[in-house]
């Protein structure tokens, strides 16, 4: 029998990145991962910003184990579990919606899909039967399933599947570095779109409060979200906040829109919800909207075999309690300021660093060929991937993305370490990243002085 090709592109697993050889991980501890050869990696992005409370949390594992032994699975149509009810009760204390209610699923794309349906059903319950359209933004990302991709704006991911997608109106994304505009100007695109399609046809507007993987922490002007809220209210359009990446404390507040004191109608989150210990996400809605669906339509017409999973709820509850006990949202804010300072100190003068931006413990560096013209490197240069590779070889995992400038070109390296990170660890992480940038793009004389 042939030897198994573990981690090899010719092995039995196929991945999204198909030609890449992967080390096998032996274990994790705090912000660190260790592979089978004993190499240590700083998990500087928690994968795609998942590992909020760090690796090796026995407390979460114990809670999951207890639930799995007690009852690993019960169908949500027929049963509930103490873990699920208690988790929802405690979540209600941190989700700023009036009398919030939660619907649990297992990934970001799933909660986005579910939120589109929930918005539709809220509109139907209000007697607004024509409201189907969901307005969304260009260069946004909401997931890979067809509904989520329909409201996403990343051409590279959408193009092969255009024939399968719903045609939803996309408006311009806030991106202060490349398109300076006031919040009023940007928000007016939403109003124009609502009027163009007819308010009676528009169900919701979905957006990331702070852009995630596509635009690397691009943060709108302060007047943007309050104005978006006003427009949605005026036209009866529901506001869906996609907090899948920036939620659960990542940006130094529990939820993205809290930076602007704006309340969405529906909030979705996933990634860090159970810290990576279980694939968990949830949709949060106002109690009054859910109640209206119940009174008018009877049921929420959606489902999923693994919805409301008891083991997932146990993992989510243990994660939530750790976050509160260890004050990790506060730590994200405090350590985020340190991280931003150190990144700027080390890289702001680099001739190929166009922008360094972030909030809390979510930071991005955008690379350019020329700082004055902001001309990006061509995608064929593969810059972000190469910096990623150099950092990886040196024992630092970061997150990379391409296409921020125009959907095709534009290189981003992103950091989103576990929210438990401390100052010394930030110092080490930034040091490795800076070395990787210098190795790929050169070390400017200024930085040597």
Ligand X SMILES: Cc1ncc(COP(=O)(O)O)c(C=O)c1O
| Closest separation in Å from C-beta 114 to ligand X | 12
What part of residues 368-387 is at the interface with ligand X (CB under 6 A)? Answer: none
What is the number of alpha carbons within 13 Å of residue 225 lying toward its C-beta?
21
Q: Please tell me whether residue 245 binds ligand X under the rule CB under 6 A.
A: yes
**Which DSSP string corresponds to 337-396?**
HHHHHHHHHHHTT-TTEEEEEEETTEEEEEE-S-TTT-PPPPGGG-HHHHHHHHHHHTTE
Are the C-beta atoms of residues 48 and 262 closer than 8 Å to each other?
Answer: no
| Nearest CB to ligand X, comparing residues 109 and 274 | 109
Q: How many residues bind ligand X (CB under 6 A)?
A: 15
Question: Of 53, 112, 119, 125, which lies in the binding site for ligand X, with binding defined by CB under 6 A?
Answer: 112
Q: Please tell me whether residue 142 binds ligand X under the rule CB under 6 A.
A: yes
Q: Please tell me whether residue 242 binds ligand X under the rule CB under 6 A.
A: yes
| Closest separation in Å from C-beta 245 to ligand X | 4
Backbone angles phi, psi at 12, to 5 degrees: -80, -10
* 105-113, 188-196, 197-205, 255-263 -> range binding ligand X (CB under 6 A): 105-113
What part of residues 269-298 is at the interface with ligand X (CB under 6 A)? Answer: 270
| Nearest CB to ligand X, comparing residues 239 and 245 | 245
Are the C-beta atoms of residues 228 and 239 closer than 8 Å to each other?
Answer: yes
User: If residue 425 lies in a helix (H) or strand (E), which one and from where to where?
Assistant: helix 423-441
Question: Of 30, 96, 108, 376, which lies in the binding site for ligand X, with binding defined by CB under 6 A?
Answer: 108
Q: Is 415 left (phi over 0), alpha (psi -120 to 50) or beta?
A: beta
Instruction: State the residue number with the nearest CB to ligand X.
Output: 108
Q: Please tell me whether residue 177 binds ligand X under the rule CB under 6 A.
A: no
Question: Of 64, 151, 210, 244, which lies in the binding site for ligand X, with binding defined by CB under 6 A?
Answer: 244
Strand pairing class (25-29; 32-35): antiparallel
| Closest separation in Å from C-beta 244 to ligand X | 3
| Closest separation in Å from C-beta 375 to ligand X | 27
| Closest separation in Å from C-beta 266 to ligand X | 13
Question: Of 43, 113, 208, 265, which lies in the binding site for ligand X, with binding defined by CB under 6 A?
Answer: 208
Closest CA to 361 of 27, 23, 71, 45: 45
Distance CA 390, CA 290 (A): 49
Question: Of 52, 67, 107, 123, which lies in the binding site for ligand X, with binding defined by CB under 6 A?
Answer: 107
| Closest separation in Å from C-beta 351 to ligand X | 30
Q: Please tell me whether residue 109 binds ligand X under the rule CB under 6 A.
A: yes
Q: Please tell me whether residue 416 binds ligand X under the rule CB under 6 A.
A: no
Per-residue x/- mask for ligand X, residues 211 to 240, rule CB under 6 A?
-xx---------------------------
Distance CA 316, CA 67 (A): 12
| Nearest CB to ligand X, comparing residues 143 and 340 | 143
Distance CA 54, CA 67 (A): 21
| Closest separation in Å from C-beta 101 to ligand X | 21
Closest CA to 393 of 353, 441, 432, 431: 432
Q: Is 12 left (phi over 0), alpha (psi -120 to 50) or beta?
A: alpha
Q: Please tell me whether residue 141 binds ligand X under the rule CB under 6 A.
A: yes
What's the token pair of residue 230? 């006003």
Q: Please tell me whether residue 267 binds ligand X under the rule CB under 6 A.
A: no
**Which DSSP string corresponds to 63-126?**
HHHHHHHHHS---TTT---HHHHHHHHHHTTTS-SSS-EEEEESSHHHHHHHHHHHHHHHHHHT
What part of residues 36-95 is at the interface with ligand X (CB under 6 A)? Answer: 48
* 114-122, 241-249, 340-348, 365-373 -> range binding ligand X (CB under 6 A): 241-249
Are the C-beta atoms of residues 254 and 279 closer than 8 Å to each other?
Answer: no
Identify the sign of the CA torsion 281, 122, 290, 252.
positive
What's the token pair of residue 283? 């949709």
Q: Please tell me whether residue 312 binds ligand X under the rule CB under 6 A.
A: no
* 139-147, 299-307, 359-367, 379-387 -> range binding ligand X (CB under 6 A): 139-147
Binding stretches for ligand X (CB under 6 A): 48, 107-109, 112, 141-143, 208, 212-213, 242, 244-245, 270
């Amino acid at each position: 029998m042939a030897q198994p090709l573990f981690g090899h592109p010719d092995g039995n697993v196929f991945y999204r990145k198909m030609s890449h050889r992967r080390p096998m991980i032996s274990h994790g501890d705090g912000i660190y991962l260790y592979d089978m050869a004993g190499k240590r990696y700083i998990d500087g992005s928690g994968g795609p910003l998942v590992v909020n409370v760090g690796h090796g949390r026995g407390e979460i594992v114990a809670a999951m184990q207890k639930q799995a032994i007690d009852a690993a699975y019960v169908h949500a149509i027929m049963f509930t579990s103490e873990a699920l009810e208690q988790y929802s009760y405690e979540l209600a204390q941190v989700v700023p919606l009036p009398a919030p209610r939660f619907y649990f699923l297992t990934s970001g794309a799933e909660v986005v899909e579910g939120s589109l349906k929930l918005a539709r059903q809220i509109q139907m319950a209000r007697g607004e039967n024509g409201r189907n359209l969901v307005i969304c933004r260009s260069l946004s990302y909401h997931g890979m399933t067809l509904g989520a991709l329909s409201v996403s704006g990343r051409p590279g991911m959408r193009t092969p599947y255009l024939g399968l997608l719903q045609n939803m109106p996309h408006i311009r994304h806030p991106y202060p570095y490349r398109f300076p505009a006031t919040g009023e100007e940007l928000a007016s695109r939403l109003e124009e779109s609502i009027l163009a399609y007819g308010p009676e046809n528009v169900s919701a507007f979905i957006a990331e409060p702070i852009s995630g993987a596509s635009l690397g922490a691009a943060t709108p002007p302060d007047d943007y979200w309050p104005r978006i809220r006003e427009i949605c209210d005026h036209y009866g359009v529901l506001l869906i906040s996609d907090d899948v990446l920036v939620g659960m404390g990542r940006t130094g507040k529990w939820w993205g829109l809290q930076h602007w004191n704006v309340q969405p109608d529906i909030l979705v989150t996933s990634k860090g919800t159970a810290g990576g210990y279980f694939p968990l996400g949830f949709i949060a809605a106002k109690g009054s909207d859910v109640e209206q669906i119940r009174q008018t339509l009877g049921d929420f017409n959606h489902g999923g075999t693994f919805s409301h999973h008891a083991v997932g709820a146990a993992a989510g509850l243990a994660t939530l309690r750790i976050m509160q006990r260890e004050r990790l949202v506060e730590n994200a804010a405090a350590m985020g300021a340190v991280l931003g300072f150190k990144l700027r100190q080390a890289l702001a003068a680099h001739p190929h660093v166009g922008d360094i931006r972030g909030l809390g413990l979510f930071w991005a560096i955008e690379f350019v060929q020329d700082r004055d013209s902001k001309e990006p490197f061509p995608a064929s240069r593969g810059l972000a991937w190469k910096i990623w590779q150099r950092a990886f070889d040196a024992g630092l995992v970061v997150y990379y993305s391409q296409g921020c400038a125009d959907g095709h070109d534009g290189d981003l390296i992103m950091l989103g370490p576990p929210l438990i990170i401390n100052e010394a660890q930030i110092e080490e992480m930034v040091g490795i990243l800076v070395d990787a940038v210098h190795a790929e793009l050169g070390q400017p004389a200024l930085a040597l002085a």
